[in-house]
Amino acid sequence: MFPDRIFSGMRPTGPLHLGHYHGVLKNWIKLQSEYPCFFCVVDLHALTTHYETPDVIENNVWEVLIDWLASGIDPAQATLFIQSHVQEHAELSLILGMSTPLSWLERVPTYKEQIERLHDKDLGTYGFLGYPILMAADILLYRASLVPVGEDQVPHVEITREIARRFNYLYGREPGFEDKANKAARKLGGKRCKLYYELRNAYQQEGNEEALEQARALLQEAQSLLMSDRERLFGYLEGSRKIILVEPQAMLTKTSRMPGINGQKMSKSYSNIIGLREDRISVEKKIRKMPTDSARARRSDPGDPNKCPVWQLHQAYTNPATHEWVWRSCRNAETGCLECKQPVIDEILLEQQMMLERAQKYIDDPSLLRAIIADGCDKARKLAHETMRDVREAIGLAYS
Ligand code: TRP
């Protein structure tokens, strides 16, 4: 009924690092040419944990957006915007909160875990418990079918599906739905109408998913159908309700384990990051200081790359010929560690060079960035507005 669409969000908690680039942004860059994409800086989500220090959010929002653009997210292809600038996020979140059982929220695995982990913050708030509802609102507002996320976010996408299903169940009811659906089916015309019922039966009685897909394609192609009839027929395929909110699928980003400068996964909480736009002196210094195989105390001691975090960076950054050189020269103590680090430094600086160049434009002229985001917010608002119109009508809040 609705075309495939991608939504993903990122909290503005600080400048991004190379782990974000390799783990998330490269994937977004691929997706932006394949689907309509909505990429959102979720500043309201940042408030759930930073409500006592909200002054840091504004700067982080712009930094994250520059990082996205620097990485190659293309505003001519993808829609980039800020969550709090599209007020429908707050509105839908409030409405979805009415019908979401507390138990669903309390059993989200990250909930208790985070409260314990971030014990210096009081996260015993209504807003923090409601984090998944706000995230569901983000996704459902754009009727996004696909949500690229890391593994840790899968439970959130799952609860989004449950929230959508429950909403459709509660509010997709219509007096005389069955009659209306049958009337709408007749409007498909003899042959297509017959095929619709056959496919519906194949799905409902035998669980034939392919038949469901075919039926959806049939409806998609039925140009002459009124929007409301189409929605009924989509809903009737699967049950006896209209579909108002679309259940999204998580699109798992394969975890590229980008190592940090100590061999652990790159993450701000391990203090081992290289910033996406970090200046070159600092990058060089960080890598030069990186620990190597501790058994290699002197240059004349042979080393083992498998025990060296620098080797992990080689795997992420350098070519097979360099890998061979690293193995040979390290095991035979032919080169020193600083020499071995140099190709990694060169590759990282090269990668960053392009990002720094792309970013400079927006640093020199902030109004360029403001214009891109104003445009993205407008586009997002338009879709959000359509969804909210249907939501209000379904709940019975459309009176004037
Ligand atoms: N919770 C996500 C994270 O911490 C951020 C997020 C908010 C998000 N809304 C979203 C991700 C909607 C995908 C879709 O990474």
Q: How many CB atoms lie within 10 A of CB 35?
A: 18
Indicate the pLDDT class of residue 175, thresholds 50, 70 and 90.
confident
Angle between helical axes of 154-171 and 88-99 (0-180°, round to 10): 70
Flag whether pLDDT at 256 surpasses 70.
no
Mean pLDDT of the 235-249 span: 90
Any alpha helices (H) in the chain, and if so which ranges? Answer: 18-20, 26-31, 43-50, 57-71, 88-99, 102-106, 109-117, 126-129, 131-141, 154-171, 177-186, 190-206, 209-221, 227-238, 280-288, 309-317, 320-331, 337-364, 366-395
How is domain 277-364 classified at the CATH fold level? Tyrosyl-Transfer RNA Synthetase (1.10.240)
- Residue 236 near ligand 1, beta carbon < 6 Å: no
- Residue 28 near ligand 1, beta carbon < 6 Å: no
Q: Lowest mean pLDDT: which of 51-65, 200-214, 249-263?
A: 249-263
The protein residue whose alpha carbon is closest to atom 9 in ligand 1 is: 135
Residue 390 makes CB contacts below 8 A (sequence gap 6+) with 244
- Residue 250 near ligand 1, beta carbon < 6 Å: no
- Residue 141 near ligand 1, beta carbon < 6 Å: no
Flag whether pLDDT at 18 surpasses 80.
yes
The residue ranking higher by pLDDT, 141 or 206, is: 141
Indicate the pLDDT class of residue 255, thresholds 50, 70 and 90.
low
Please choose from 5, 6, 7, 10 the residue to mutate so as to test ligand 1's pocket, defined by most ligand atoms within 8 A of CB.
10
**CA atoms within 13 Å, Cβ hemisphere of 60:** 20
- Residue 149 near ligand 1, beta carbon < 6 Å: yes
Name which of 334, 284, 288, 285 is nearest 310 in CA terms.
Answer: 288
pLDDT digits (tens, 9 = 90+) for 177-197: 899 999 999 999 999 999 999
Please choose from 5, 6, 8, 158 the residue to mutate so as to test ligand 1's pocket, defined by most ligand atoms within 8 A of CB.
8
- Residue 20 near ligand 1, beta carbon < 6 Å: no
Flag whether pLDDT at 70 surpasses 90.
yes
The protein residue whose alpha carbon is closest to atom 6 in ligand 1 is: 9
> In this structure, is the dihedral angle defined by the CA atoms of residues 205, 207, 209 and 213, taken in order, positive or negative?
positive
Q: State the distance from the centre of ligand 1 to the C-alpha of 72, rounded, in angstroms.
A: 20
- Residue 45 near ligand 1, beta carbon < 6 Å: yes
- Residue 148 near ligand 1, beta carbon < 6 Å: no
Indicate the pLDDT class of residue 394, thresholds 50, 70 and 90.
very high
The protein residue whose alpha carbon is closest to atom 14 in ligand 1 is: 8
Q: State the distance from the centre of ligand 1 to the C-alpha of 340, rounded, in angstroms.
A: 38
Q: How far apart are CA 284 and CA 103, in angstroms?
A: 50
DSSP 238-262: HSSS---SPPPEEEEPP----B-TT
Flag whether pLDDT at 162 surpasses 90.
yes
Residue 121 pLDDT: 86
How is domain 6-172+246-256+366-394 classified at the CATH fold level? Rossmann fold (3.40.50)
Mean pLDDT of the 371-381 span: 98
Using DSSP's 3-state secondary structure scheme, residue 362 falls into helix
Flag whether pLDDT at 46 surpasses 70.
yes
Angle at 299 between CA 318 and CA 295, to 5 degrees: 85
pLDDT digits (tens, 9 = 90+) for 89-130: 999 999 999 999 999 999 998 898 888 888 888 899 999 999
- Residue 8 near ligand 1, beta carbon < 6 Å: yes
Q: State the distance from the centre of ligand 1 to the C-alpha of 220, rounded, in angstroms.
A: 30
Please choose from 31, 45, 140 the residue to mutate so as to test ligand 1's pocket, defined by most ligand atoms within 8 A of CB.
45
Residue 84 pLDDT: 98
Residue 263 pLDDT: 83
Indicate the pLDDT class of residue 64, thresholds 50, 70 and 90.
very high
Q: What does the mean pLDDT of the chain come to?
A: 94
The domain spans of the chain are 6-172+246-256+366-394, 177-237, 277-364
Q: How far apart are CA 193 and CA 172, in angstroms?
A: 23
Residue 1 pLDDT: 62
